[in-house]
Chain A
Amino acid sequence: MSVGSIWVFVEASDGTITNTSLELLTKARDLADTVEAVSVSASDVAAAAGAHGATTVHQVDGTDGKLVGPAVASAIADAVAAGGGPDAILIATSYDGRDVAGRLSVKLDASVITNVVDVVEVDGALAGIVPIFGGSTNVTTKFTNDKPDIFLIRPKSFAAEESGGGPAAVASLAVPDLGATGSAVVTNRFVEEQTGPSLDDADIVVSGGRGLGESANYDLVEQLAKQLGAAPGASRAIVDAGWVPYSYQVGQTGKVVKPNVYIAAGISGATQHLVGMKGSKTIIAINKDPEAPIFSVADLGIVGDVHKVLPKLIEALQNR
């Protein structure tokens, strides 16, 4: 028995469907007979969602200037109650995705399998593969009830591939009265300035950590990134210390990156950092402590002082 129908919560940023949404749609296509999307901006995403396998995008209205979690969760829950819901719902581990999953879980009285990096079929039912202990061990978890399966899936778990489908049809999903739960309003959106490639898309990422010593030395990371056309990133230690904005953070509570090359300078390699970058194709680490855990995942490790290695590296690249 294969899975009949999967819905994917599809998100857009600046009017463009997110990569993670495309990844989830691609995976859903592998698992189910029909794939449909749920979105708060269906017209923005219908073409790309269709091209990645969705037949329909269910539009959830009324979220302009609101946080979307309560409306999306209530609309999906109502569809399930009316008998028109899916067998499983795939949601990205994003800010809004987590809101939707938490609220939906209560509405359906259904468990959520979180931090999923793969979804597989076991005896006709879906199960999630979840890394634990910083990724050294995988557990396979399945649901024990007959509620719709809710999976919260980490970004970059799958490669997005087009299916060759035309634009998805847009349908409307009714939102019930949300009462107090719908009363949080967004009054202003502040976008941090960003130059160069984004952490999500960059082919190379250069991240710095506490080993840089002080805030001003993050400049070394930025210079190296500039030489390589790379995106600059950071460990949480230096985000917490206020050296760089939160949007630079790589790891469990930051971004998941999978670049071609990841360079870690003065980063110890805590498990929460590793889960955000272990999937990189190649990893280069510079750390003065030969025992630093980052070396356990490095393809090339330089045991040395970042204040000595980085300036020479930058200079050598400038001279090429």
Chain B
Amino acid sequence: MNVVVCVKQIPDPADPGALDPETKTLVRTGKLILDEADSYGVEMALQLVDAAGGGEVTLVSMAPNEEQGGLRTALAMGAAKAVLVSDDALKGSDALTTAKVLAKAIARTGEPDLVLTATESSDGYTGTVPEQIAELLSLPSVTFAKSIAVEGSTANVQRQTEAGYDDVQVPLPAVVSVTAGVVEPRYPSFKGIMAAKSKPLDAVTVADLGFDSAQVGWNGAGQEIIEVSEAEAREAGTIVEDDGEGFQKVVDYLAELKVI
């Protein structure tokens, strides 16, 4: 079984970056890392390929400046190879354009049985890319997967719901988005890290995928930020050190609020 995992490489969330006052886009410095949200999909894919007893995991990523740090991490976990789309023309892309690029990159890998994504990225978190990819590839999809089991050409997916979960059956090929935290991503071993350095990475531009640079990036984006403002801040509260009677402050406050 062949699985493609879309992995986003993002700035370290510990350093969220800032908005450029001119272009109103996020300015990021420093190396990109594998989005933690995608580490679950990578783990899930590795487990599924293992269970199927054959096949491989291919990564697909769109990132600026041919950044590949995050891809190398996922390769070190055990993925076999990667497609990296990097092109200055992609700057300013909205989620739909991102999905169009990823869909083309996925098609370039052949005909995977399953495409995995996270439910949403940690930095852009529109959460629309997985369904957009599925629609672009005319594939069925299941979002918010808690677990995936493949039987022949069907995937049985537990899909998170408001009240619990649904058991969903979907014929393959399909797109499934994986909920964060549902598997324990493996740590790359030293051997894995060394092996990752020589695993094949197919670096492509938008032209290689058949796009015109006028269709992507700023040009292709269907939206623009027209204003940036400070959100209303909450008034500073009272912070007290617990001296053994801290609980009483809470009781008094709840009484003042008339909820007890």
Interface-located stretch among A30-38, A40-48, A107-115: A107-115
Is residue A140 contacting chain B, with contact meaning CB distance below 8 A?
yes
Interface flags for A58-92 (1: CB within 8 Å of B; 0: not) read: 00000000010110010000000000000000000
Interface flags for A296-311 (1: CB within 8 Å of B; 0: not) read: 1111111111001110
Judge whether A111 and B181 touch: CB under 8 Å. no
Among B211-260, those with CB < 8 Å from A are 221-231, 233-235, 237-242, 244, 246-251, 253-254, 257, 259-260
Q: How many residues of B contact A (CB 8 A)?
A: 78
Interface flags for B161-191 (1: CB within 8 Å of A; 0: not) read: 1111111111100100001110000000000
**From residue B165, how far is it (CB to closest CB) to chain A in Å?**
5
Given A284-B253, A295-B239, CB of A106 within 8 Å of CB of B135: yes
Among B143, B167, B180, B249, which residue has its beta carbon within 8 angstroms of that of A190?
A: B167
Is residue A124 contacting chain B, with contact meaning CB distance below 8 A?
no
Q: Classify the interface of chain A: helix, strand, loop or mixed.
A: mixed
Residue in chain A with minimal CB distance to B176: A184
Judge whether B138 and A137 touch: CB under 8 Å. no
Interface-located stretch among A2-10, A161-169, A312-320: A312-320
Judge whether A185 and B259 touch: CB under 8 Å. no
Residue in chain A with minimal CB distance to B143: A99
**From residue A104, how far is it (CB to closest CB) to chain B in Å?**
9
Given A69-B131, A239-B181, CB of A142 within 8 Å of CB of B226: yes
**From residue B119, how far is it (CB to closest CB) to chain A in Å?**
7
Judge whether A101 and B231 touch: CB under 8 Å. no
Q: Classify the interface of chain B: helix, strand, loop or mixed.
A: mixed
Among B136, B141, B221, which residue has its beta carbon within 8 angstroms of that of A111?
A: B221
Judge whether B19 and A142 touch: CB under 8 Å. no
Judge whether A189 and B161 touch: CB under 8 Å. yes
Among A135, A141, A245, A247, which residue has its beta carbon within 8 angstroms of that of B231?
A: A135
Interface-located stretch among A49-57, A144-152, A209-217: A144-152
Q: How far is the CA of A263 from the CA of B164 in the complex (A)?
A: 24
Is residue B140 contacting chain A, with contact meaning CB distance below 8 A?
yes
Given A182-B140, A191-B163, CB of A305 within 8 Å of CB of B221: no
Q: How far is the CA of A112 from the CA of B59 in the complex (A)?
A: 26
Given A236-B181, A309-B247, CB of A101 within 8 Å of CB of B229: no
Q: How far is the CA of A174 from the CA of B144 in the complex (A)?
A: 27
**From residue A267, how far is it (CB to closest CB) to chain B in Å?**
15
Among A233-272, those with CB < 8 Å from B are 236, 239-240, 245-247, 252-253, 260-261, 263
Judge whether A184 and B141 touch: CB under 8 Å. yes
Q: How far is the CA of A186 from the CA of B161 in the complex (A)?
A: 12
Q: How far is the CA of A101 from the CA of B126 in the complex (A)?
A: 11
Among A122-145, those with CB < 8 Å from B are 122, 127, 131-133, 135-145
Q: How far is the CA of A303 from the CA of B241 in the complex (A)?
A: 5
Among A69, A192, A297, A302, which residue has its beta carbon within 8 angstroms of that of B250?
A: A302
Please give, as numbers and ranges, the residues of chain A lying within 8 Å of B248 by CB-CB distance: 316
Given A180-B138, A247-B162, A300-B249, CB of A114 within 8 Å of CB of B95: yes
Q: How far is the CA of A301 from the CA of B224 in the complex (A)?
A: 39
Q: Which residues of B contact A (CB under 8 A)?
A: 16, 19, 24, 94-96, 99, 119-120, 125-132, 134-136, 138-144, 146, 158-171, 174, 179-181, 221-231, 233-235, 237-242, 244, 246-251, 253-254, 257, 259-260
